Amino acid sequence: MTGRRVLVLNGVNLGRLGSREPLIYGSTTHEQLAALCVQTGNEVGLDVEVRQTDDEAELVRWLHEAADSGAPVVLNSAAWSHYSYALRDACSQLTAPLVEVHISQVHAREEFRHTSVISGVATATITGLGVEGYRAALRFLAL
C-alpha cells in the first residue's frame, strides 16, 4: 500500500540491535525492526522508509531532506540524543511531526541518559516500550 511517506531514522549503534546488550535493547535485529516498521506502515496507510547510520552528518542530511519534503519523522538518535545540538537544530527545521523514540526506558538508566536535547523540539517522545515504541509512533503519525 502506498500512503504518506514517513522516514524512520536510527542513529549510532542501532545497526547492532539484536546482538547489542540484548537485556537492555531486546533481541530484534535492525533488519527485523525495519521490516516491522514497513509492515506497520502498510497496516495504517503509511509509506515507511527505515534508515540507520553511525555518521552524524549523514543523519543531519536526512533530516534536511525530511524538512524539505515535508515528511514526518520517527527518530531514535541514540546516544546523540543526549548531547547533539547540531541534531536538535536539524530537528527544529522539520515541517511535519517528529516522534522521538527510545527502545529502553532512558529515565531509569544512567543520569546522562535522562536528558534529551531532541525532546524540546519533538511532537512526542516514546521511551521504554522496546521496538513497540516505533509501532506506536507510526500509528500516531497515521492519525
Q: Is 25 a catalytic residue?
A: yes
84 binds ligand DQA (CB under 6 A): no
Burial class from Cβ neighbours inside 10 Å (0-12, 13-18, 19+) for residue 10 reads buried
Report the site for ligand DQA in 4-43 (rule: CB under 6 A): 13
125 binds ligand DQA (CB under 6 A): no
For residue 119, what are the contacts with CB-CB under 8 A and spacing of at least 6? 100, 125
DSSP one-letter code for 109 = S
Applying CB under 6 A, which of residues 7, 48, 87, 106 lies at the interface with ligand DQA?
106
Whole-angstrom distance, CA of residue 70 vs CA of residue 81 = 22
78 binds ligand DQA (CB under 6 A): yes
Report the site for ligand DQA in 85-104 (rule: CB under 6 A): 102-104
Size of interface with ligand DQA, in residues (CB under 6 A): 10
Give min distance, CB of 42 to ligand DQA, in A. 24
Whole-angstrom distance, CA of residue 127 vs CA of residue 67 = 24
Return the C-alpha cell found at 49: 522508509
Query: Which residues belong to the active site?
Result: 25, 102
Residues that bind ligand DQA (CB under 6 A): 13, 76, 78-79, 81, 102-104, 106, 113
